[in-house]
């Protein structure tokens, strides 16, 4: 594949162009009950104001944000394995959020909260500078058609915004099984002034052992796709 020049990519997040289409799908009665009954325990409403994460989690701890957690199985698995960290999950689709809430309750998690809102607006308004130690973006919609590339969540300005919210030395971890999108992400991140590639060869990294296999990854594997993992480290120097 020929790499794209990042200067040809969209320059900034545009709220008229979102990286998702709100496909609600079929929600089960259990998921619907979870949204009604478990949201007070695990849900965070987007108000446009800044979140006080220390107050929400009742402690100060390293914080991970997962953007687009799907059905939440991966997020719940990671949060259960790392009780010393706090986790925030973003997802806009109700069935997935309901499924995640049920899994979080079953695991009796105290270190997980979820939001149903657009990631750009959450990062811009709800989180403060250096609030996060880690961001996970696993198997985002690849928007394979060229005319839809502007909808891809990984864009230069979005990466800049992530850099403003991730602490120096923090990690941005991504994965996709769509090879053209993997190279797109590598191109965008490699030209960022916010991050350094953790891979010694400045390419992709080996699949982290702690990353659970997601539903989307299993589907891709059945289709013969190969997952690509990326890991970038927030630079310690100023990004302004």
CATH number where 211 lies: 3.40.50.150
Q: How confident is the model at residue 240 (pLDDT cuts 50, 70, 90)?
A: low
Q: Which region, left, alpha or beta, applies to residue 87 given φ > 0 means left and ψ of -120 to 50 means alpha?
A: beta
* pLDDT reading at 238 higher than 60: no
| pLDDT reading at 239 higher than 60 | no
Whether 21 and 153 have beta carbons less than 8 Å apart is answered as: no
| pLDDT score of 225 | 87
65 in any annotated domain = yes
Is 83 part of any domain?
A: yes
How does DSSP assign 61-111, residue by residue?
--EEEEE--TTSHHHHHHHHH-TTSEEEEE---HHHHHHHHHHHHHTT-SS
**Is residue 2 pLDDT above 50, yes or no?**
no
Q: What is the pLDDT at residue 22?
A: 54
Residue 172 lies in a domain: yes
First to last CA, the chain: 33
Residue 212: domain span: 48-234
Q: Per-residue pLDDT averaged across 78-102, rounded?
A: 97
Active site residue 141: yes
Stretch among 78-82, 138-142, 143-147, 193-197 having the lowest mean pLDDT? 143-147
For 92, other C-beta atoms within 10 Å of its C-beta total 19
What average pLDDT does this structure show over 152-168?
A: 97
Lowest mean pLDDT among 24-28, 42-46, 86-90, 205-209: 24-28
The model's pLDDT over 114-128, given as tens digits with 9 standing for 90+, comes to: 999 999 999 999 999
Q: Is 49 helix (H, G, I), strand (E, B) or coil?
A: coil
Q: What is the pLDDT of residue 16?
A: 52
- 3-17 pLDDT tens trace: 444 444 444 444 555
Closest CA to 129 of 171, 159, 164: 164
Helix-helix angle 94-106:29-37, to 10 degrees: 70
Residue 226 is assigned to a structural domain of this protein: yes
| pLDDT score at 216 | 76
Q: Which of 8, 141, 196, 201 is catalytic?
A: 141
155 with 12: CB under 8 angstroms? yes
Task: Please give the residue that has the higher pLDDT: either 214 or 94.
Answer: 94
* Domain-embedded: residue 42: no
Read off the pLDDT of residues 166-222 as tens digits, 9 standing for 90 and up.
999 999 999 999 999 999 999 999 999 999 999 999 999 999 999 998 877 888 788
> Does residue 125 lie in a domain region?
yes
Q: How far is CA 49 from the centre of its chain?
A: 20
**Gap between the Cα atoms of 130 and 234, Å rounded:** 10
Residue 97 has pLDDT above 50, yes or no: yes
pLDDT score, position 92: 94
What does residue 100 show for φ and ψ, rounded to 5 degrees?
-65, -45
Cα distances from 199 to residues 134, 186, 209, in angstroms, run 17, 11, 16
- 58 has pLDDT over 80: yes
In angstroms, the CA 74 to CA 214 distance is 6
Is residue 11 in some structural domain? Answer: no
Please indicate, yes or no, if residue 35 is contained in any of the structural domains: no
What is the average pLDDT value for the chain, to the nearest integer? 90
How many domains, the chain? 1
């Amino acid at each position: 594949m020929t790499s794209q020049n990042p200067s040809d990519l969209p320059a900034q997040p545009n709220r008229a162009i979102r990286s998702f289409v709100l496909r609600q799908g079929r929600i089960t009665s259990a998921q619907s009950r979870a949204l009604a009954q478990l949201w007070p325990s695990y849900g965070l409403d987007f108000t446009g104001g800044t979140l006080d994460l220390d107050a929400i989690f009742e402690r100060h701890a390293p914080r991970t944000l997962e953007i687009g957690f799907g059905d939440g199985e991966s997020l719940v698995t990671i949060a259960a394995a790392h009780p010393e960290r706090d986790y925030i999950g973003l997802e806009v689709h109700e069935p997935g959020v309901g499924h995640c809430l049920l899994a979080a309750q079953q695991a009796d998690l105290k270190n997980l909260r979820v939001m149903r809102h657009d990631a750009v607006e959450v990062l811009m308004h709800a989180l403060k500078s250096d609030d996060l130690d880690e961001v996970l973006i696993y198997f985002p919609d690849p928007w394979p058609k060229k005319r839809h590339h502007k909808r891809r969540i990984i864009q230069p300005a979005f990466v800049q915004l992530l850099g403003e919210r991730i602490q120096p030395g923090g990690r941005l971890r991504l994965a996709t099984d769509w090879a053209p999108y993997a190279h797109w992400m590598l191109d965008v991140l490699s030209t960022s002034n916010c991050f350094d590639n953790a891979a010694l060869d400045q390419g992709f990294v080996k699949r982290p052992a702690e990353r659970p296999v997601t539903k989307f990854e299993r589907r891709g594997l059945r289709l013969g796709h190969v997952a690509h993992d990326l890991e970038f480290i927030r630079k310690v120097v100023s990004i302004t």
